[in-house]
Amino acid sequence: MTIAIAICTSVACDRNRRTAEGILARTIPAGHQVPSLAPAPTTGTAAQFTWDFETLVTASDYIAWLKDQFRDYEIVADDAAHVRLAKVAPGDAYRLMVSLDPRGGGLTHVHAQLTIAPD
């Protein structure tokens, strides 16, 4: 019985990672290098992932572009430097929080945190 639970947990982790990689790809504008996906500490049954990258797209243009990429998500909150998106799918709930930090020379740092939790 314990072995079956471990295998199921491993399969769930792999599925969450594949899902996170797909969501990560949707946050990267064309022509940008896809950053590494870093798993954050798991809290309870929720899996968390984070990633960071820099872009020459302005924060306001990036937020508009991101919202277009995630039309299947609900916009929970947004302002000039943050956007929070959420989606409930059969069996899972997804929360994506993106923070933007304008840097000098037109560069914008993007930090994203994705949480996948059972619904």
Q: Assess contact for 81 and 110: CB atoms under 8 A.
A: no
Here the CATH number for the domain that contains residue 65 is 3.30.310
Instruction: Judge whether 36 and 53 are in contact, CB under 8 Å.
Output: no
* pLDDT tens-place values along the chain, 119 residues long: 223 223 334 445 678 888 999 999 999 998 888 887 776 666 678 899 999 999 999 999 999 999 999 999 999 999 999 999 999 988 899 999 999 999 988 899 999 999 999 87
The total of structural domains in the chain comes to 1
Domain that holds residue 39: 2-118
Predicted TM-score (pTM) above 0.85: no
- Euclidean distance between the first and the last CA atom of the chain, given in angstroms as a whole number: 24
